[in-house]
Amino acid sequence: MDSTPTLNTIPQKHGAFDTLAHALDYAAEGLTGFNFYSRKGELDSVQPYSRIRSDAVKLARRLLHLGLERGSRVAIVAVTHPDFVRFFFACQYAGLVPVPLPAGTHLNGAEAYKGQLKRLVAICGARIAVSTEDFLPYLTSAVKGQGLIMTGLPEDFDALSESGEELRPLGPDELAYLQFTSGSTRFPKGVMITQSAVMNNLAAIAGPGICVTPEDRAVSWLPFYHDMGLVGLMLASMASQLSVDFFSTIDFVMRPRLWLKLMSENRATISFGPPFSYELAAMRLKTSDVEGLDLSPWRIAGIGAEMIRQESLEKFAQCLKPAGFNASSFIPCYGMAECSLAVTFAEIGKGVRADLIDAERLADNNKVVHVTDGDGDNVRKSVFIRCGKPLPGFEVEIRDSQGQVLSEGECGTLFLRGPSLMAGYFGDEQATEEVLSSDGWLNTGDIAYWSDGNIVITGRSKDMIIINGRNIWPQDIEYLAETMDGVRTGDACAFSCHDTDGHEQAVLLVQSRIAEEADKRRMAEHLKKLIQQELGIDCIVEIVPRNTLVRTTSGKPSRSSTRKVYLDMLLQNQAAA
């Protein structure tokens, strides 16, 4: 069994279609497609776009047999499997709206996962739901009592008769899918993305974003329920007729070398991931693992989805330099589900470009003052990564708390307007009005500044910790914890809460396998002193067991939900006392 080829037989088009169905119609004329690999790196399934289309059309006729109203939502547990792809595109042809659901009980435990699925299905008002066998018990439990027409395995839907009704694919002004945000797991929001919005973004990604060529090939382990995995790798590749080699997220976490192995063996040129993925790969690699790899074709190593830290990328590049990886391949980017996906890309071939900023001036008055390493130890410095210039079609403003537009050198809230923005949050007009103005401006909630035409993200406004009038970014506190031995990226979560006098107090929870209470106290005291020394604030530090931090659907710690866990812990301790 051979994978789909890199070179195609049809002229490449960069997302120049009005709908996803039309994009797949064109891709199906060529030879490229999706390839799915096992945890051992063996090719499991080859799915040329021609097969994906024919299977999707056949399934679409079976879904129509259920008599669903046009635009009905179809909940799909987004396992990295050909069946997810088949159902997603079947919805496009049947006039239904796919809703990817997270696939992973490992995020917060089985019961929490069932509760999460229940909320997501209820919010989107799904009429049918489908899952692979591994996740069906959780899905069946979650949809109980919600009045769905049908819930089952892919083969259950394959057993339906085909409708004789003519297929009417979703049109440009209709929804392409609902994408749940990776923010709160307790109060998730379903982002409504129209066909025209996503197609605009896909064209921008493939064209001015990363300049896709006919020689490009992608590898992805990113989950299909996250916008970077769904839009950035699955849909953008299809709309540019690229071949992609997929393997599952859990297999990446267990065997990050598989990512590099596939990149090398298939001479792939494009892959994306959050910063932690590069750090994890570098941490797990042995010298012998690097031997035999050829990563010289890798020209787009995209980085996004969370705050970018330069040190982990430098370590990755240094570790894989003997395999031909070039640090200039790094492409920092910025995006969010509310914008379909991508907003900015750094310049290709320039690698990571960072600003060294006076942290005190930034925290005290939102002024961006560039410094150098030679400015002395008396100046506290912060490093921020330039995420590139906005894609064509985006209007960008950075505003202060009064709504005034700021110029370069001033830090404020990032606002966006453009053709790939969401239509709103499904069934939640209040939440939509809070972030999307009547004239189309989206309040991203991100804090940013301009740097030589580039957007630089410094944090999230809703996560900001304000101590005695000073702005403290929680990721600065988390970073100090992650410098400790045994603390991995993502094992620390900082937030604020009010003390008995109503003053804002910084809190840091750190996950650790440390069992002895005396060792926990020593670690907490060391971190308190380090935070005081580096940031000049007092901070409550709690060393907690593994799996205490609540995570979002993309696996990142949720500060708001973890804050609730901490407050519940305080109440329990008070009751016990």
The answer to whether 12 touches 214, Cβ cutoff 8 Å, is: yes
Q: 3-state class of 540 per DSSP?
A: strand
Average of pLDDT values for 52-67? 96
Helices 275-284 and 310-320: crossing angle, nearest 10°? 40
List, for residues 136-192, the tens digit of each pLDDT value: 999 999 999 899 999 999 999 999 999 888 999 999 999 999 998 755 445 678 999
What pLDDT does 470 receive? 66
Q: Give, in order, the Cα–Cα distances in Å from 466 to each of 456, 472, 518, 566.
A: 21, 6, 31, 19
What pLDDT does 185 receive? 47
Of 475 and 442, the structure prediction assigns the larger pLDDT to 442
Phi, psi of 207 (to 5 degrees): -85, -95
What pLDDT does 499 receive? 72
Phi, psi of 37 (to 5 degrees): -115, 150
DSSP letter (8 states) at residue 78: -
For the chain, what percent of residues have pLDDT higher than 70?
94
First to last CA, the chain: 65
Average of pLDDT values for 392-415? 91
Among positive and negative, which fits the CA dihedral 205, 210, 212, 218? negative
DSSP secondary structure letters along 244-255: EEE--HHHHHH-
Q: What are 267's two structure tokens?
A: 């001479």
List, for residues 332-381, the tens digit of each pLDDT value: 999 999 999 999 999 999 999 988 888 878 877 888 888 877 666 667 77
In this predicted structure, the answer to whether residue 510 has a pLDDT above a threshold of 50 is yes
Q: 3-state class of 336 per DSSP?
A: coil
What pLDDT does 497 receive? 83
Phi, psi of 552 (to 5 degrees): -80, 180
In this predicted structure, the answer to whether residue 258 has a pLDDT above a threshold of 50 is yes
Average pLDDT, the chain: 89
**33-37 and 244-246: which strand pairing?**
parallel
The answer to whether 317 touches 327, Cβ cutoff 8 Å, is: yes
**Window from 215-229, 287-301, 550-564 with minimum mean pLDDT:** 550-564
The answer to whether 244 touches 262, Cβ cutoff 8 Å, is: no
Could you tell me the pLDDT band of residue 104, with boundaries at 50, 70 and 90?
A: confident
| pTM of the shown model | 0.83
Helices 20-27 and 195-204: crossing angle, nearest 10°? 50
What's the length of the chain? 577
The answer to whether 270 touches 218, Cβ cutoff 8 Å, is: yes
DSSP secondary structure letters along 194-245: EHHHHHHHHHHIIIIIT---TT--EEE---TTSHIIIIIIIIHHHHTT--EE
What pLDDT does 310 receive? 80
Domains, the chain: 256-463 (3.40.50.12780), 464-576 (3.30.300.30)
Q: Give, in order, the Cα–Cα distances in Å from 251 to each of 206, 232, 361, 454, 489.
A: 27, 20, 43, 35, 18
In this predicted structure, the answer to whether residue 85 has a pLDDT above a threshold of 90 is yes
Q: 3-state class of 104 per DSSP?
A: coil
Q: Give, in order, the Cα–Cα distances in Å from 37 to each of 153, 205, 212, 219.
A: 21, 25, 23, 10
Radius of gyration of the chain (CA): 24
Q: Give, in order, the Cα–Cα distances in Å from 320 to each of 278, 504, 522.
A: 11, 44, 36
In this predicted structure, the answer to whether residue 309 has a pLDDT above a threshold of 90 is no
Average of pLDDT values for 83-96? 98
